A and B are shown apart, each in its own frame.
Chain A
Amino acid sequence: AQSVTQLDSHVSVSEGTPVLLRCNYSSSYSPSLFWYVQHPNKGLQLLLKYTSAATLVKGINGFEAEFKKSETSFHLTKPSAHMSDAAEYFCVVSSTGFQKLVFGTGTRLLVSP
């Protein structure tokens, strides 16, 4: 069985400060890991994807995540938050590519001026 745990339901940062959204996963197989972002009234958008290549994955909009097998973590980071980053972020795990995605409960990122 697979699962993901997003450790924070809400994260608040000031514009221009670093962002850290935490995710731990559990998987019996070599997992694929994803981060998706959900803006209000918009579909989920893929930020980045890890599939057993480089452990540091760079995504869109300046986000990146590091796969740490020893810690079973896949935290999402960004050096400097922008107001437009305010959204809901989902950590996702799968052992079968896109076929059976298992979503975390989401982290709402709030960015203040």
Chain B
Amino acid sequence: GAVVSQHPSRVICKSGTSVKIECRSLDFQATTMFWYRQFPKKSLMLMATSNEGSKATYEQGVEKDKFLINHASLTLSTLTVTSAHPEDSSFYICSVLGFATNEKLFFGSGTQLSVL
């Protein structure tokens, strides 16, 4: 079964609103969670890395004030897209690296965000 739960799977919102995406590790405690963005016919691009209890590390070119990441517990990380615009429409995927998962990385099933 799934070890990472990502919600919602699909969201449509109006321009200017904020959207929160949740990523939960179900069977283990996560040391690190990653957030990726995937454009159509493009590869996944790492947006940020978050560790529980500390500020996320953002990749170059990713606006930290626009893409707010909170990793408040060992099993939950959230990505909030603030003041969304149509260009933020994309597929967002989280992944989780666990304490005792033999260095395996587990991915969520992704969230398709459409901003009207």
Q: Quick check: which of B12-20, B81-89, B105-113 contacts chain A, the rest being far away?
A: B105-113
Q: Which B residues lie within 8 Å of A12 (CB)?
A: none
State the majority secondary structure of interface residues on B: strand
Q: Are A43 and B110 in contact (CB under 8 A)?
A: yes
Q: Are B43 and A90 in contact (CB under 8 A)?
A: yes
User: Whole-angstrom distance between the alpha carbons of A31 and B31 in the complex?
Assistant: 23
Q: Which of A36, A98, A105 has the most CB of B within 10 A?
A: A98
Of all chain B residues, which has the CB nearest A98? B105
Given contacts A41-B9, A44-B93, contact A101 B109 (CB under 8 A): no
Which size bracket describes the interface of B in this complex? 20 to 34
A97 proximal to B (CB < 8 A): yes
Of all chain B residues, which has the CB nearest A101? B46
Of all chain A residues, which has the CB nearest B39? A105
In the complex, 26 of the A-B residue pairs with CB atoms within 8 angstroms, ordered by the A residue number, are: A9-B41, A41-B9, A43-B2, A43-B4, A43-B106, A43-B108, A43-B109, A43-B110, A44-B107, A45-B107, A46-B105, A90-B43, A90-B44, A98-B97, A98-B103, A99-B49, A101-B44, A101-B105, A102-B43, A103-B44, A103-B45, A104-B43, A105-B41, A105-B42, A105-B43, A106-B41
